[in-house]
Structure 1
């Protein structure tokens, strides 16, 4: 009888001790520290501020479009619709675009050519990274090797070859055209690409990336594929 009571008492004490240990560890568990240095935090803050600025610019642009449409609709509804449709086609990449921009030339590195190394072409990951860098610095309209980039563009590997809009890229050399909203934005993008680490990534893949100086007028061709509208639905207004 005493042995049974002692066993139960021991079990109860074990459970109480285990719960106390768990509670102690929970209370005293240290918070995870942010191991980023000041420069990395500043870069993250700069990216967030830039994204915030872009969103504000887009909101202002949409509000301006609504104001113009409202004013024009009172005078000439048909003309307002035509102008709005043209602006939307241009924003979607379905029409030829002209504006201030820069051109990036992707070529085999001189060392690779001198050593007779085989140039396999640019990888999808590297091309996506470059496109993301362009988008971060106000690159509004982009064309890669004559292939217009739109919202539904896919950059992927198909049968061992990098494709854009399901069309294979030429083996370097080829060019990438980028149009920005203003000449100032093009200059900022130009300076950013010249100082970017992505230049080293290209060199590792036996490629070089040469950035032309900003131009006042650069022409980018229209998207020449079919836009998938299967999931779009028309709504009737009152």
Structure 2
């Protein structure tokens, strides 16, 4: 309600433009690199093994998100801007600000923390869906093909988001250091973890989980379902 009073309905969509601009290529790259790593790095004995799927998912997540990381950083910054003048600077304005203050390294601030969270998240998401599909969807010609993939995608989204949410929360906290005077400053990853535990307890690592699940579970379900439908259409 506080956000609505201060910014109206528009406040709920802050940073959404850059998020859409980032999310589409990032998701496409994750699927692409997942298949590439499966074909290149996993031998036949591990092709259907959970460990192989997990490793390929982690590598795909790191690769895709490293490529699109600067957009993720700007999205996070835009989503917490309280000053309308700063928010109106948009993507290009913030690119200039980051580059002028920190140079190219500034676009990868918090990268390591992000990858620590992204690798297991994408690994669990991809491996969960792949295992479910392999075991319970032996053919693409079964009835309710899309509905089954939606269900598998929802399960993959729920499991991966819940398991790795604390890492995502820490990532966002690290990205926002120095962005606003209202954001607590941290000296590093360990300090951020210890500070969160000290001031908020273990529940602090799951603050905001429910809204994320409400967003990510249907989004992940649709993402996997559309991907499988497109693969079926082009004969992959």
Q: What is the TM-score of this pair, normalised by structure 1? A: 0.26
Instruction: Report which of the two has the higher share of strand.
Output: 1
The structure whose residues are more often helix, as a share, is 2
Normalised TM-score (structure 2): 0.26
Of structures 1 and 2, the one with the larger relative CO (CA 8 A, separation 6+) is 1
